[in-house]
Amino acid sequence: MIEQIEFIYSHSPQLLFGFPGQRPGGLLLSVMLAILAIVIGFFFALLVGAGQQSRSGPVRWVCQRYIDIFRGLPLILLVIIIYQLGGVRILGFDINPLAAALIALVLYSSAYQAEIVRAGLLSVPRQHVESARVLGSSPLRAFFTVELPYALRVMTPAFVGQAISLFKDTSVLVIIGAAELMTITRAVLGSDITNLQHWITLYLFVGLLYFGIAYAVSLIARRWEEKSRSSELVHSLTTY
């Protein structure tokens, strides 16, 4: 038992932050990838989500197909397609696994986020937008100053949920070796037969790391949501 704990203790720096002297890896990279993908994905989602409500048929069609395709494919397949086809076949050189991972996560996540954006935009009361228009603001300005801030507040809990799910999904990046937590776990265990006894403790530890972050964020989000809901109620009572 002592031996097992020592094994985990001696490898925890790699598991948490990646191998020394290299780019950040491990748990830190998993978290960074999830945050980056959710933030970049938001801009794609905004385009696609708004495009779904466009008056132009072809635009709506393209946006709908975008969502269908990236939601219908398993993430692991998307990652491999971008890594192998995007790199060697299209660009003609090996794409960095990290770049492929980020692109795949952004495309995958943005399809889910687009649905959230659409629901969020639909929840904005029409009167708010119309009042802004009557007061003389341009459609674009009304979108950014009235619609978006309102919708963002509605969308935030769903985005946090999406970020947690994306954080867990970073584990599939092990298939291209993107140096995130699962890749490092595999590297630490290696093919050394004497490490077989450490499999169970190490995977329990890694499971605990994922659980810790995901559960903590979901608890914080839940508390924050309750708080903001009550403050929103107060806000609506004082305004109207």
224 binds other proteins (CB under 8 A): no
**Would you state the structure tokens that stand for residue 176, as one six-digit string?**
């291209």
Nearer to other proteins, 89 or 126 (CB): 89
Nearer to other proteins, 143 or 159 (CB): 159
**First-to-last C-alpha distance (Å) of the chain:** 64
User: Is 9 exposed, middle or buried (CB count within 10 Å of its CB: 0-12, 13-18, 19+)?
Assistant: exposed
Helix (H) or strand (E) holding 39: helix 26-51
CA 70 to CA 175: how far, in whole Å? 19
Binding mask 137-176 for other proteins (x = CB under 8 A): ---------------------------x---xx-xx-xx-
Nearer to other proteins, 2 or 196 (CB): 196
Task: Report CA-CA distances (Å) from 4 to 1, 12, 13, 47.
Answer: 5, 12, 16, 50
Binding mask 55-94 for other proteins (x = CB under 8 A): -------------xx-xxxxxxx--xx--xx--xx-----
Nearer to other proteins, 43 or 211 (CB): 211
* Nearest residue to 217 via CA among 181, 168, 153, 151: 168
Binding site for other proteins (CB under 8 A): 68-69, 71-77, 80-81, 84-85, 88-89, 164, 168-169, 171-172, 174-175, 182, 196-197, 199-200, 202-204, 206-207, 210-211, 214-215, 218
